[in-house]
């Protein structure tokens, strides 16, 4: 391995994408750079071959590998994440880390990403200073995040100017406990934000699902009806408005079984009657995005139905919480901590599910589900 005296200038450093024949050298750097939380051979292999990641390496004049940076690119969003960065102890102080971060930024920009996020140990003062110098700002903190129980500082940088600061809300993030309880988990996030004394338990997650479910879907367990979620919210002390782009029964256009259609229809009619009885307003129109933003500015929070196709290739209805916006993006809390969104050997992270930036035009496409282009929004207030 080259020593710092053997590498006199950054002009000797070559930055490029890793190849499979770099695996041995990558593992050696990982072992020398970290005492814990190390990436495995499988993780590096997957990063090299995955379309959703970019693994940059730095090599010296003699061809020795001096460092790497692993970038994750979240599909369907404007978010990129610097997942890991390491420089060989023998090559530190040469500016290699900065070159690697710049390569990640350039890649993220080419992929249309607006934000690059990262986590750094709060005792890694050199790395923190570098990120700050490069324009990264702290926006969160996680206690005992790393294997050695040190805390993590969350930082982000706006790669593309979006004409103004983000307007966000401090909403506790929760993961859905089952594949079919995205709606209840989203409602629990809102309840936790608006009623600080509310306890978001797995029991209440299932209770909300039982209260709000359509009973059947095209396959598997039933999802949650927007009226059902509104009724569950009202029962727990919130005011709710429901915006629906169609007045008839929901989710029946792709259901072939007549019994299922009948049950879904009866559930829909029952929810509509209950909303009328308890005073939950039903607006049979798509809620305009500007009106949604106006409601957010006035203190409301919204649970919005989206199609996950642009995020994971699956045409599934999915509930998310609007957690902020800027001139170009809508930010959401996504309750789905899905292993499929990560590299197979890397643990899924809630950090990738919070304040997820989605371009406004992309968001408007996502928030239309099924053949009927259904739009459903539940607006919640204290």
Q: Is the pLDDT of residue 304 over 70?
A: yes
Q: How confident is the model at residue 162 (pLDDT cuts 50, 70, 90)?
A: very low
CA distance 55 to 136: 20
- What domains, with CATH codes, occur in the chain? 4-160 (3.40.630.30), 182-381 (3.90.70.10)
Q: Is the pLDDT of residue 165 over 80?
A: no
Q: How far is CA 326 from CA 76, 156, 363, in A?
A: 17, 15, 13
pLDDT in tens, 182-192: 999 999 999 99
If residue 117 lies in a helix (H) or strand (E), which one and from where to where?
Answer: strand 115-121
**Residue bearing the bigger pLDDT, 299 or 2:** 299
CA distance 201 to 187: 12
Q: How many CB atoms lie within 10 A of CB 319?
A: 25
Percent of the chain with pLDDT over 70: 90
Report whether 208 contacts 254 (CB < 8 A): no
Report whether 201 contacts 188 (CB < 8 A): no
Q: How many CB atoms lie within 10 A of CB 133?
A: 9
What is the pTM assigned to this prediction?
A: 0.76
Q: How far is CA 132 from CA 125, 164, 189, in A?
A: 10, 20, 31
Would you state the pLDDT for residue 273?
Answer: 97
Would you state the pLDDT for residue 282?
Answer: 97
Q: Is the pLDDT of residue 170 over 80?
A: yes
Would you state the pLDDT for residue 146?
Answer: 79
pLDDT in tens, 24-57: 999 999 999 888 778 999 999 999 998 889 999 9
**Dihedral, 274, 172, 289, 109 alpha carbons, nearest 10:** -150
Lowest-confidence region among 132-141, 197-206, 293-302: 132-141
Pairing of strands 79-87, 115-121: parallel
**Residue bearing the bigger pLDDT, 150 or 98:** 98
Position of tokens 């929070």?
301
Cα–Cα nearest to 169, from 290, 74, 293: 293
């Amino acid at each position: 391995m080259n020593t710092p005296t053997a590498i006199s200038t950054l002009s000797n450093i070559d930055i490029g994408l890793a190849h499979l024949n770099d695996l041995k050298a990558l593992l050696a750097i990982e072992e020398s750079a970290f005492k814990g939380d190390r990436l495995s051979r499988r993780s590096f292999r997957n990063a090299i071959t995955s379309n959703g990641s970019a693994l940059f390496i730095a090599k010296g004049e003699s061809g020795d590998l001096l460092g790497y940076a692993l970038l994750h690119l979240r599909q369907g969003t404007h978010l990129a994440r610097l997942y890991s960065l390491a420089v060989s102890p023998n090559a530190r102080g040469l500016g290699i880390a900065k070159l690697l971060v710049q390569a990640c930024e350039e890649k993220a920009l080419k992929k249309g990403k607006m934000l690059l996020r990262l986590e750094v140990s709060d005792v890694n003062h050199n790395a923190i200073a570098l990120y700050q110098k490069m324009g990264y700002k702290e926006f969160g903190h996680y206690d005992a995040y790393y294997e050695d129980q040190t805390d993590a500082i969350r930082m982000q940088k706006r790669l593309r100017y979006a004409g103004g600061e983000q307007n966000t809300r401090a909403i506790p993030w929760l993961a859905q406990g089952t594949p079919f309880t995205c709606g209840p988990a989203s409602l629990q996030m809102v309840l936790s934000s608006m009623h600080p004394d509310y306890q978001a338990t797995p029991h209440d997650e299932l209770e909300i699902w039982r209260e709000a479910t359509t009973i059947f879907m095209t396959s598997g367990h039933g999802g949650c009806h927007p009226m059902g979620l509104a009724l569950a919210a009202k029962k727990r002390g919130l005011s709710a408005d429901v915006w629906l782009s169609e007045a008839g029964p929901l989710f029946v256009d792709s259901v072939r079984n007549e019994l299922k259609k009948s049950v879904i229809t009866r559930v829909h009619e029952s929810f509509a009657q209950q909303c009328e009885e308890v005073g939950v307003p039903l607006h049979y129109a798509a809620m305009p995005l500007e009106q949604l933003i106006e409601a957010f500015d006035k203190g409301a929070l919204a649970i919005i139905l989206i199609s996950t196709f642009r995020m994971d290739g699956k045409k599934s209805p999915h509930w998310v919480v609007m957690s902020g916006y800027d001139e170009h993006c809508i930010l959401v809390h996504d309750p789905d901590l899905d292993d499929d969104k990560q590299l197979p050997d890397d643990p899924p992270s809630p950090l990738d599910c919070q304040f997820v930036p989605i371009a406004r035009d992309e968001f408007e496409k996502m928030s239309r589900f099924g053949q009927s282009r259904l739009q459903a929004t539940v607006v919640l207030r204290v």
